[in-house]
Amino acid sequence: MAIGLQRAGILGLVAAWLGFTLPSAVLLFGFALGVSTLGDVSQAGWVLGLKAAAVAVVGHAVLGMAKSLTPDARRATIAVGVLTVVLLVPGPLTMFGAMALAGIAGFFVCRSPSTTENDEPRFRVRLRPAVGWLSLAVFVMLLAGLPILLCSPATPR
């Protein structure tokens, strides 16, 4: 979607989303509806096999991202710090706090001294600031609002 946005603006982003994300979302939704009619399948052999395959795929992705996102000791130290905090401090807000602290640490520790105001960004996206602020507002509303809506007593379960 980022490539569509860079090459053709908002219409390119929407076209990329329609061509890539929407079909997989529709298939996953249909699969979820089909599986929900089967009852409790949590211990079925095929589900356990899918879980094992998912662990392998996620592990491979994490290793690949670690190689590209933590190429130096500073960023690797921040990543290990986040991992340690998330593993040792249980709670749903721990992950958000650890990521926020990692972002702040990265902002101060991983700054490049050679950056000047004349440096051209490698990935130029032409959007109005209002689009960014609107996207951030929708993200925050969904991130905070959906769990609140789920836990509200008026929501039928």
For 23-44, what is each residue's pLDDT tens digit? 999 999 999 888 888 888 888 8
Is the domain of 76 the same as that of 60?
Answer: no
Work out the mean pLDDT of the chain and round it to a whole number: 87
Which residues fall within 8 angstroms of residue 30, CB to CB, at 6 or more apart?
none
Query: Is 74 contained in some domain?
Result: yes
For 76-116, the pLDDT digits (tens) are 999 999 999 999 998 878 988 998 999 999 999 887 766 55
Region of residue 129 (phi > 0: left; psi between -120 and 50: alpha; otherwise: beta): alpha
Residue 157 has pLDDT above 70, yes or no: no
Burial 85-120 (b: 16+ CB within 10 A, else e): beeeeeeeeeeeebeeebeebeeeeeeeeeeeeeee
Query: Is 106 contained in some domain?
Result: yes
Is the domain of 63 the same as that of 83?
Answer: no
Domain that holds residue 3: 1-39
* Predicted TM-score of the model (pTM): 0.54
